[in-house]
Amino acid sequence: MDTLVRATALSRHFGRHPALADVELTLDTGQVLGLLGPNGAGKSTCLRLLAGVLAPSSGRVQILGIDLARQPRLAKRQLGYLPERPPLHPELRVNEYLRFCARLRGIPRERLASSVDAAKHRCGLDRVGHQRIDTLSKGYQQRLGIAQAIIHRPRVLILDEPTEGLDPYQIRALRALIRDLAHDCGIILSSHILPEVQAVCDRVMILHRGRVRYDGYPAADHSPHLWRIRLGAPEQGERLRAADCLDQVSALTEDRYRVVLKDGASAADLARELVTVGVDLHELQPERSDLERVFFDLTGAEESA
Amino acid sequence: MIRTLFTRELLGGMVTPLPWVLLGGAQIVLAWIFLQVIESFAGLDTASRQHPLTLELTLNLFGFTAVILLFAAPLIGARMLSAELRDGRFTLLASAPIGSGEIVLGKYLGLWGLLTPLCLLPALNLLLLAGATPLDAGQIAAATLGLWCSAGLFAAVSIYASTLSAQPTSATLSAFAVLLLLSIVGRAEQLIDGSLSLLGWLTWNEHLLWFLFGAVRFSDLAYFALFSAVFLALAQRRLDNRRLA
């Protein structure tokens, strides 16, 4: 599998404030990488560095083996970038704007019309080609932002909060578009919406306070057998072993446990049995998905600490 | 790529009302000055006329147009980069495979192009006298060239000021300040020492004056070319530094 993007020890400071520190990142063809993190985690800074819009304080970025700092033109030819705020010219019509973007990306004159048509078609903009951009809805403006990023068929697509401002139908259509685009390129997208990343990304990187806290492939679905419980008193934990419906029990804190139910057992069975064995059940909740758990363990727990 | 940006800026500028308002306003004032000059010239007998009509017209019409250009260039120039930086539209250029030098040159030529109709306005007014009285066509051409060179310098200063701030108002005021300094710096020569010719040389209006007299001198052309290039180089450097800031 081709490595499209390789970032090595990427750091960025704004004055004395470190926005990003020692980020290592790779992206392969066909992969959709989700950058996840709370606001201010450094997601947009990371994407701006990868797009060549910002220069790193230290570290390097290679796009298809081309150094972004040394050969920016060559590297940027392979990149498509949608910033947080789509860079639109409101006084232009959709067709005029896309033609301008195509020229900026160096598309030859003879391929200009077909490239514009293809980008419009992929983003569902066929019917608004002659409309002025400032009269488009937020959703259509976002689609146009994506269209300008894919007009030159880049090998690497960088999308900063692409679903921002879209309605549920548009979000679903965008997910399909991203999966479709991922067939012939690699995609990096940022979001702070967990289900969004879970639905569309193969791989997830969690950023927190400018550092990578997690980089992996969390399973999209979580087991229905996983539950978390809180007991009335710490000493009651031992009594959990007596419950027949439980396969595994692991202590999280003195009074909190993660439990795995046996096949065929339900939460109702667990509640009944715990009462039978004399446990005061204060809380019973399904275990969050892997990604959600990882995210809150890495960021939420630290925030509340 | 420079041509793409030039065309975009030119067409983008033409769909905004500002250049048209400036052009219309300038025409109204120029028409009034034109009438004043003609009336006062026609009222004098031949012996009392100190200068030929062409010189009277170039000094008044072209001189005033230069002042209008001095205000117009920063106003139009602020939307070229400063407004783009504010709205986030500059990201489109920053992520595209083009250099900062091309961006600066494309925008500069676009602004110069938008100012060109203003430069041609006094000469177009003088066409009214064609056939009625003999005018020195060479002198008018030289004055138009001088005005166009001045517009080039003003455009370069405005583009540089536009890179300084993401607030168009600040960019406009910065450009005004630099252009005002370049307009009055020659006065210091009179205040300090008559032999201090460098300050006089730095003033753009001293160079324009020779064009208005009908003299196209290499030193004046070099002044406009050199100063325009300096401000464009500063603008490019500023854009490069924005990536690092």
pLDDT over 60 at B193, yes or no: no
In a domain, residue A250? The reply is: yes
What digits encode the pLDDT tens for the residues B214-224?
Answer: 888 898 899 99
Give the chain A residue whose CA is nearest to the CA of B103.
A104
A283 in a structural domain: yes
Does residue A203 share a domain with residue A280? no
pLDDT band for position B188 (cuts 50, 70, 90) = low
Residues A240, A249: contact at Cβ < 8 Å? yes
Query: Vertex B44, ends B41 and B46: CA angle to 5°?
Result: 100
Say if residues B135 and B97 touch (Cβ distance below 8 Å). no
> Using one digit for the tens of pLDDT, what is the confidence trace for A140-178?
898 899 999 999 989 999 999 888 777 788 888 888 888
Q: How many helices (H) and strands (E) does chain B have?
A: 13, 0
What pLDDT score was predicted for residue B234?
Answer: 95
Name which of A11-25, B120-134, B192-206 the model is least confident about.
B192-206
Angle at A199 between CA A198 and CA A204, to 5 degrees: 35
Residues A52 and A148 reside in one and the same domain:
yes
Work out the mean pLDDT of chain B and round it to a whole number.
87
Cβ of A53 within 8 Å of Cβ of B95? The answer is yes
Amino acid at B137: A
pTM: 0.80
Domain tally, chain A: 2
Q: Which residues of B touch A53 (CB under 8 A)?
A: 91, 94-95, 243
Do A192 and A248 share a domain, yes or no?
Answer: no
Tell me: pLDDT of B196 over 80.
no
Residue A258 sits in which domain range?
226-287
Same domain? A28 vs A77: yes
Q: Is residue A194 domain-shared with residue A261, that is, in the same domain? A: no
Mutate to test the interface with A, among B18, B92, B93, B98 (most CBs of A within 10 A): B92
Q: Which of residues 7-66 of B touch A (CB under 8 A)?
A: 8, 12, 15-16
Residues A180 and A269 reside in one and the same domain: no
Q: Where are the alpha helices (DSSP H) in A182-213?
A: 194-200
- My answer on whether A14 and A143 are in the same domain is yes
Question: Which pLDDT band holds residue B190 (cuts at 50, 70, 90)?
Answer: low
- Domain-embedded: residue A29: yes
At residue B118, the pLDDT reads: 93
Helix B204-212 / helix B63-77 crossing angle, nearest 10 deg = 130
DSSP type of residue A125: -
Residues above pLDDT 70, as percent of chain B: 93
Average pLDDT (A228-257) is 80
- Which of B69-78, B124-133, B202-211 is the most confident on average? B69-78
Model pLDDT for residues B125-167, shown as the tens digit of each residue: 888 777 777 778 888 899 999 999 999 999 999 999 999 988 9
Distances in whole angstroms, Cα of residue A168 to Cα of each of A25, A93, A171, B147? 30, 26, 5, 57
Residues A126, A254 within the same domain: no
Q: What is the pLDDT of residue B47?
A: 67
Strand partners, A203: A33
Tell me whether residue A294 is in a domain: no
* Cβ–Cβ below 8 Å for B15 and A91: yes
pLDDT at B35 over 80: yes
Predicted confidence at residue A199, as pLDDT, reads 78
Q: Which two tokens stand for residue A205?
A: 């990187």
| A55: nearest CB among B95, B99, B243 | B243
Kindly list the residues from chain B whose CB atom is less than 8 angstroms away from the CB atom of residue A98: none
- Per mean pLDDT, which range of A25-29, A200-204, A253-257, B97-101 is the poorest? A253-257
pLDDT at B72: 92
Interface of A with B (CB under 8 A): 51-55, 72-74, 76-77, 79, 81, 83-85, 87-89, 91-92, 100-101, 103-106, 148
Among residues A163, A186, A216, which one ends one of the domains?
Answer: A216
Distance CA A17, CA A158 (A): 24
User: Are the Cβ atoms of A104 and B90 closer than 8 angstroms?
Assistant: no
Residue A144's pLDDT is 92
Looking at residue A278, which CATH number applies to its domain? 3.30.70.2070
Would A301 be classed as within a structural domain? Answer: no
Dihedral sign for Cα atoms in the order B213, B215, B217, B222 = positive
Looking at chain A, how many residues does it have?
305
Residue of A77, A88, A148 with shortest CB distance to B97? A77
Helices (H), chain A: 43-51, 72-76, 94-104, 109-122, 138-150, 168-181, 194-200, 267-276, 290-295, 301-304
CB contact under 8 A, B95 and A103: no
CATH of the domain at A210: 3.40.50.300
Residue B44, pLDDT > 80, answer no
Residue A46: what pLDDT?
92
Q: Which of A55, A92, A103 sits opposite B4 (nearest CB)?
A: A103
Average pLDDT over chain A, rounded to whole? 84
Does A33 fall in a domain? yes
Together in a domain, A70 and A190: yes
Among A155, A142, A152, A220, which Cα is nearest to A182's? A155
Strands A156-160 and A32-36: unpaired
> What number is the average pLDDT over the span B4-31?
90
What pLDDT is recorded for position B101? 92
Q: Are residues A170 and A258 in the same domain?
A: no
The angle at the Cα of A65, spanning A64 to A70, to the nearest 5 degrees, equals 115
Single out the residue of B112, B119, B138, B110 nearest to residue B66, CA to CA. Answer: B119
Banded pLDDT at A303 (limits 50, 70, 90):
very low
Higher-confidence position of A43 and B44: A43
Say if residue A292's pLDDT is above 80. Answer: no
pLDDT of residue A301: 52
Q: Does residue A34 fall inside a structural domain?
A: yes
Record the tokens describing residue B112, joined without a space. 């110069």
Given a cut of 70, whether residue A224 has pLDDT beyond it is: no
- CB contacts, 8 Å: A79 with chain B: 95
Q: Are residue A190 and residue A234 in the same domain, yes or no?
A: no
Query: Which of A99-108, B191-200, B205-214 is predicted least confidently?
Result: B191-200
Whether A79 is covered by a domain: the verdict is yes
Q: Do A82 and A149 reside in the same domain of the chain?
A: yes
Q: What is the pLDDT of residue A247?
A: 81
